[in-house]
Every structure is written in C-alpha cells, then in structure tokens.
Amino acid sequence: MRKLPQVESDAPLTDTAGVNVIGASKAHESAYLHVTGTARYVDDIPVPANCLSAYVGGAQVASGQITKLDLGKVWQSPGVVDVITAADIPGHVDIGPVFPGDLALAENQVNYVGQPVFAVLANTREEARQAGRRAVIEIQATTPILDLAAAQSAQRTVRPSHSLTRGDVAAAMVQAPCQLDIEQRIGGQEHFYLEGQVALALPQEDGGVLVYSSSQHPSEVQKLVAEVLGLPMHLVVVDMRRMGGGFGGKETQAAQWACLAALLAVRNQRAVKLRLGRSDDMQLTGKRHGFVNQARVGFDNSGHILAVQAQLHGLCGCSPDLSDAIVDRAMFHADNAYYLPAAKITGHRWFQNTASQTAFRGFGGPQGMMLAEQMLDDIARRVNRDPLSVRLANLYSPQRGMKTPYHQQVEGFPMQRIIGELVESSQYWQRREAITEYNQSQQRKVRGLALTPVKFGISFTAQFLNQAGALVHVYTDGSIQVNHGGTEMGQGLHTKIGQIAAAELGVDLSAIVVTASRTDKVPNTSPTAASSGTDLNGQATRAACQTIRQRLQEFVAQTHACVASEVQFTAGQVSWPSGKQSFAELVQAAYLARISLSSTGYYRTPKIYYDRDKAAGHPFYYYTCGAAVSEVEVDRLTGMYKVLRTDILHDAGASINPAIDIGQIEGAFIQGMGWLTTEELVWGNDGRLQSNSGATYKIPAVGDTPAQFNVALLQNSSNHEATIYHSKAVGEPPFMYGISVWSALRDAIYQAGAGQVNPQLDTPATPERVLWALQQASRGES
C-alpha cells in the first residue's frame, strides 16, 4: 500500500455510537440481510461448477450386527460417483467429542434406526438421496433398549453415575414432619432449527480442505475432520458465518456431516455438499434428553424443605456425546432457586437405542429444575398453602442458607426483589382470586396460574472451555474487522461484539464488521454454548481493542507530548489536551509511524473450579436469575389449552443490548413452553422416530404466543462479578420460564378437581395428558 485511502477529518456518525453504544437496542447486525433474503447460509454459498452432493444411508433397525452390506445397487443408481463405508476412512472412525462412541460411519454394530453405514456421492442431491435408499443391509437384530426400565434391567449406561451430597440426608429425612415422593417423566425435545444440518467442503491445493459447516463449534469440526482424514489440523479450515438456528443441536452433531463431506471432497478432489432433509435430520441427530426424576422430599408443616433425596435418570441415547456434563448440569439445577438444608442428588446416564441425545438450550438444567418445581407445587398442596408462598419461603436467603448441594456459596441473588416486583406488575394475588372465582362458576374452561423462578449457573462446567480469543484488525481507512471464537446462530452475539468494539475504540458502529468465525483467524475456540458467547468472546474482543487503543494512546502521547491516559476515543474522534483528530487520521499517522494496528485478545473466566471426586467447588462464575408468571385456560372436554398471559422479569445485569436480550427471553420462553406442552417425541417399539417431521412434531406456532406477553429486564441491575460491562448471560436461562406454563396447567387441573387431587402431569403435557389428568382429578383419584 503506497498510497493511503482518503479519510475525513470529521467522520460521519450514523448514531451516537462510541458514546452510548453499550446498553443501546441496536438492530441485529444481519437484520437487513435477513429481511431481504441476502443473508447467506451454508446452502446459499455459490459452489464451483463441479460440486457434487453427498447423502447417507443406513438400516431400518435399531440394534444389531451387520451381517451383509451390499452396495451394488447404490453404485448402479443414476449419477453416483463414489460410495464409502467406514473401511474407506483413512484416519479415525470415532468422532466422539469427549468420550469415544460416535462413529462417522457405523462399522459392525448399528445402534439406532437409520444410523449411517455408508455415504454416497452423486451429481445431484436428488440422485444421492435416491441412491442412499438402495443398499441391501442385513442385520442380525437384537432387542432394542428404548426406555428406562429396559436400560436398568440390562444395566446399560454410557457413563458412570455421580452424586452431590450436602448434610446428613437420611437423618434429616427421618426427622422431617412430612414426606412425599415424586416421580416425573420428562420428554425430550427436537431442536427444529429452521436450517437443517449442512456442510460444504472444498479441497485445497495442499491436500487440505476448507469446510463451511453450520456448526456451533468450528474448532471441534476442524479437529475431527483432520482426524478422520489423517491430516494435521493446520491443513483444515472451518468457516462459519451464520447458522439458521442451533440451540445446542449443532454443538457436537454438526461434525459428522462435515467429516463425511470433507472426506468425499478430498477423495474425489471435488467440492462436496451434504445437507440432510428434515425427516432424516430428525431421525439421525440427537435431541434434548428425556429424563425420569424420582425424589423423596422431607418438609415441615408450613412447607419448608428439610431434606431431598433425588435420582435423576437421563436417557442418553447410544453414546456418551455430552451426556456426562448434561446430567451433571441437571443435578446442579435440581435445587433451582431453593435452599435444600440436606440433599443427596444422584444422576444416572442410561443407554438407549436412539441417536445420541445432545446439548439443547439449558443443557440438562431444565430437566433438573422441573423436579424442584414439582416439589414446590406438591408441598404447597400438601400443606394447603398457595404455591407462591411456599416458593418464597424456600428461596436461598441469608437466613435460610446460601450454600448449594455442590457447596458453592450463592452470591448476588436478587430473587426476592425480582419476585416482589413481578408479583406486583403481574397482579398475581388479584388474579389468583379472580381465577378461583372464575373456576367456581364451573364453565367449560378452567384456568390456572403459576409463578416459577429460575436461577441458572453460568459457565461451562468443564473448566478449560471457559476461555476465548479474538482478533481485531484496524485498516488504514479507519474501518475495523473483528473476529472472535464465537459463532452467530441468531442470538445477536456478533451485534453485541460489534457494540463492544465500537465502545472500546470510540467509533461509530458502522465502522465495525464482525466476520465469519474461522479456525484460521481465531484458533482453538470453545463451542458457542452455555450462554457464554458474549461473556467470553466479548472480553477477548475488548482485550484486543484495548491493546490497539493503548498503542495508539502511547503514539499520541509521544507525538503530542501528553500522558497516554489523557488520550480519549469517542464518537469517531481521538482527543488529547492540546488537540484532536478523526480516528481514521490517527490510524493513518500511526501506520506511517509503523505502529501495529492488529491485535489478538484473550480471556479466561476467573474463580471457577469443580472437584468432581468431592462433588464440590465453584463451577459457576455467577447465576442469571428471573421469574415468570403464566395463566392458562384449559378445555375440560378436550384437554386443549391456551396460555392467556405471561409476565416475565429477567435480570440481564447491565444489558449490552436490551432489545436483543428481550428477544432471547421471549424466544426462549416460547421454546420452553413448547418443550413442556405440544412437542412430543414418539419412538415406535422398533426404535423408529415416528414424530419425524413438522407434520407430526409440533413446535409452537404464531397463535401459541400468549395474547398478553409482558417481558421486562430488571432495572438498575449490574452483575456483581466483573463480567463484560457487568452484563449477564441470557441465552439459556429464560428457556426455563416455560416451566411456569406447565405449573399453571397443573394448577388448573388441580382446581378442576376442586383442590382434592394433586395431579400427575408428565411432559410434554399434550392435550391428551391434560385430559387424562383432568379425569383423574374429577374422579378424585391421585
């Protein structure tokens, strides 16, 4: 660059960025691209003319040994170019993310219906899909394990059990004036990201490969592609601009498709795309774990919990995948917001002949929290108090206790304030009265109301994942490119990162571009998961920007004889006591003076540790808290229902972008509601997923959004820990506000039975389950 670009001395500002950009409700950085259809997803990337399509094929058997694999008809199918099996994989066949057990292609044993046994490459996607159905695969079938009882009797687990213990539970239980037993069955959940699993692989000149993968974890895809191909990692680049939704479903399970596409691409030296159709995506990829929770709880006559003994049974599918950490997180959240004076919580990881269940927003937390919330409702009905009063009486508090079953001291816990404000704004008690009155009139519909809190631990429970990197480039026209280790799946991470960079360098938001996540820009990244995207990558970006800012400050201090700390960056201007210039002018001067305008940034979360042998530590940097109130109306004749109103008050700390945070809360609530109501996974006795399309698996539609939906952020809040601008993570916690709908349904059913029967309501609480519970209640059966 011999001649520098022309720059203005007064940079035009499109907003007040660089002054008040933190805390501003900026639109999603891709909003314009979204609404014009110009946002590019992996399947939209223009491909080379010689691009081929890959697809997978497997057997329609849930469990057994492959006795014969005849691919002759696959090879003969029109347009077929290549067919591979596990034997054609030059490197690792096992692509398990933490523990072994996930195979790129099955070798001898099949463990779930449709498990890919081969991959086929053809000229068109239609031809590849057709060919994928033509193999002759003979299997010596064995009886599949498809529920908890079968797994227990076969003693098949994917990982060992683990327990958290605090206090003398046995003694406290015996001494408790009241006890009750709980058993709840909680269904899993299909991610139903609108963009299905997809990868595009382009062979490179050096034997390596460039992979576009719709993945929350590009670094892991890079590592696994390298291992499958037998290549060093530096020959594999993974690029991820945006996903059409992830929700955890693309944390580990995007890798298989990327590995297969990459292998076929390198083998044939052609570009290869592999995109699953919706029903295959649903059949072949893991989901939220179903759980069976069992507990005995001891409490006093006014409903204070004294002891809890719980068994959480996670149904993990056919391999460990992330199940160890997922069941751990369920155990860490079985207390939710309530102090348990004595507790023993054990988590089990059971094998099932299904695709391996995986991460999904909340990562086990919701399933653990369901136990706590059923416990509180059941206790309230036993002691004949309103559930809200019993919830308030059991919250963590300095009087009652602040130590969790895993021995972490709860700090910065504004729950009393949150519930107090929400009870007020939602008029909980007035509506409670109105509902009781309405229900006494014995109309066709019966109504229910519930308030449920959420306390969700923030951090990966695997300590080493709590690190992040960023790479910031300032160009000589003053424009800035930010790269970081997180991925954009709609959650607005890149928008917040852009705001952080704009604030740190005092420039207009339009000066920042946040690029695709690429393993050759920021290496060795963690998955974008555990709600940690902004916490980790925001700090890393901030660190990179500060390094550059500091260099510029020192340069100004030298050239203008002032102290570095007196140099201010604001609104696209850089000022010092004796003068000022535009950011772009300063950048050019610095460039000519040979100052580096690029920097990496790095961050690791402080304070966190967990000793698994002792089941004690400080696994969470802090907690995100909030509460929701939902009112439902249930049809006594059909069990169909509607959510009439939901109020949510959520603590996002000092929010970086309130509009994006509210978007996360609203969307997560609806997703959580769907999990517990209409989203029903049904496997047949043969292990085939019967709910394998949008026609049979019903996520919430537009009419399911409550007619009154009031979502607010807790005002004047600030994270007591030194997170990025004292904000709080927001991705997962609001998912669990959906529990308020389930709890309100139980309340309605309880009231339909005139308060005589505490209803059992397993989830999803489909109209059918609700109708049976209503019948039970009206007959007075418990």
The DSSP string of 113-182 is TT-EEEEEEESSHHHHHHHHT--EEEEEE-----SHHHHHHHT-EEEEEEEEEES-HHHHHHH-SEEEEE
- 663 binding another protein? (CB under 8 A): yes
Q: Which of residues 499-558 bind another protein (CB under 8 A)?
A: none
- 631 binding another protein? (CB under 8 A): no
- 667 binding another protein? (CB under 8 A): yes
| Segment holding 288, helix H or strand E | none
* Stretch touching another protein by CB under 8 A, among 254-262, 409-417, 459-467, 695-703: 695-703
Binding residue for another protein (CB under 8 A) from 9, 25, 140, 175?
Answer: 25
Binding residue for another protein (CB under 8 A) from 112, 118, 193, 396?
Answer: 193
Q: Which residues contact 430 (CB under 8 A, 6 or more apart)?
A: none
* Distance between start and end Cα atoms, the chain: 80
Minimal distance, residue 304 CB to another protein, in Å: 35
Minimal distance, residue 28 CB to another protein, in Å: 6
Minimal distance, residue 759 CB to another protein, in Å: 17
**What amino acid occupies position 710?**
N
CA distance 188 to 782: 25
- 49 binding another protein? (CB under 8 A): no
- 194 binding another protein? (CB under 8 A): yes
Minimal distance, residue 508 CB to another protein, in Å: 18
- 703 binding another protein? (CB under 8 A): yes
Rounded alpha-carbon distances, angstroms, from residue 73 to 80, 120, 124, 661: 10, 11, 17, 52
Binding residue for another protein (CB under 8 A) from 129, 250, 344, 645?
Answer: 129
Minimal distance, residue 22 CB to another protein, in Å: 18
- 187 binding another protein? (CB under 8 A): no
* 384 CB neighbour count, 10 Å cutoff: 8
CA distance 104 to 117: 9
466 token code pair: 């709590």
Rounded alpha-carbon distances, angstroms, from residue 26 to 21, 499, 572: 8, 8, 18
Minimal distance, residue 248 CB to another protein, in Å: 12
Binding residue for another protein (CB under 8 A) from 18, 244, 298, 527?
Answer: 244
Q: Which of residues 734-773 bind another protein (CB under 8 A)?
A: 766-768, 771-772
- 682 binding another protein? (CB under 8 A): yes
- Phi, psi for 279 (deg, rounded to 5): -70, -35
- 279 binding another protein? (CB under 8 A): yes
- Measured from the CB atom, is 485 or 672 closer to another protein? 672
Q: Which of 138, 680, 732, 768 is flagged as catalytic?
A: 732
CA distance 633 to 630: 10
Binding residue for another protein (CB under 8 A) from 162, 278, 296, 560?
Answer: 278
- 242 binding another protein? (CB under 8 A): yes
- 23 binding another protein? (CB under 8 A): no
Q: Could you tell me which residues are beta bridge partners of residue 116?
A: 58
- 442 binding another protein? (CB under 8 A): no
- Measured from the CB atom, is 191 or 484 closer to another protein? 191
Q: Half-sphere exposure of residue 491, counting CA atoms within 13 Å on the CB side?
A: 28
CA distance 314 to 287: 12
Minimal distance, residue 548 CB to another protein, in Å: 30
- 370 binding another protein? (CB under 8 A): no
- Measured from the CB atom, is 444 or 607 closer to another protein? 444
- Measured from the CB atom, is 46 or 398 closer to another protein? 46
CA distance 422 to 625: 13
Binding residue for another protein (CB under 8 A) from 9, 31, 50, 72?
Answer: 31
462 token code pair: 């695997």
Rounded alpha-carbon distances, angstroms, from residue 22 to 27, 490, 560, 663: 13, 19, 30, 17
- Measured from the CB atom, is 600 or 691 closer to another protein? 691
Q: Which of residues 299-338 bind another protein (CB under 8 A)?
A: none
Check if 732 is active-site.
yes
Cα angle: 747, vertex 751, 755; to 5 degrees = 105
* Stretch touching another protein by CB under 8 A, among 28-36, 172-180, 395-403, 749-757: 28-36
- 660 binding another protein? (CB under 8 A): yes
- Measured from the CB atom, is 293 or 487 closer to another protein? 487
- Measured from the CB atom, is 346 or 692 closer to another protein? 692
Binding residue for another protein (CB under 8 A) from 694, 754, 781, 782?
Answer: 694
* 90 CB neighbour count, 10 Å cutoff: 12
| Segment holding 774, helix H or strand E | helix 767-779
Binding residue for another protein (CB under 8 A) from 205, 702, 715, 716?
Answer: 702
118 token code pair: 């081969």
Pattern 479-498, another protein, x by CB under 8 A: ----------xxxx------
* Stretch touching another protein by CB under 8 A, among 4-12, 348-356, 592-600, 702-710: 702-710
Entry field: residues in the chain: 782
Q: Which residues contact 439 (CB under 8 A, 6 or more apart)?
A: 446, 447, 748, 751, 752
* Strands of 198-203's sheet in order across: 80-85, 116-122, 52-58, 272-275, 198-203, 209-213, 236-240, 517-518
Q: Which DSSP symbol is given to 234? A: G
Binding residue for another protein (CB under 8 A) from 698, 721, 726, 762?
Answer: 698
- Measured from the CB atom, is 69 or 640 closer to another protein? 640
- Measured from the CB atom, is 492 or 527 closer to another protein? 492
- 654 binding another protein? (CB under 8 A): no
- Measured from the CB atom, is 538 or 734 closer to another protein? 734
The residue count for binding another protein (CB under 8 A) is 82
Minimal distance, residue 671 CB to another protein, in Å: 7
- Measured from the CB atom, is 33 or 149 closer to another protein? 33
3-state secondary structure of 712: strand
**Nearest C-alpha neighbor of 764 from the set 189, 147, 146:** 189
Active site residues: 732
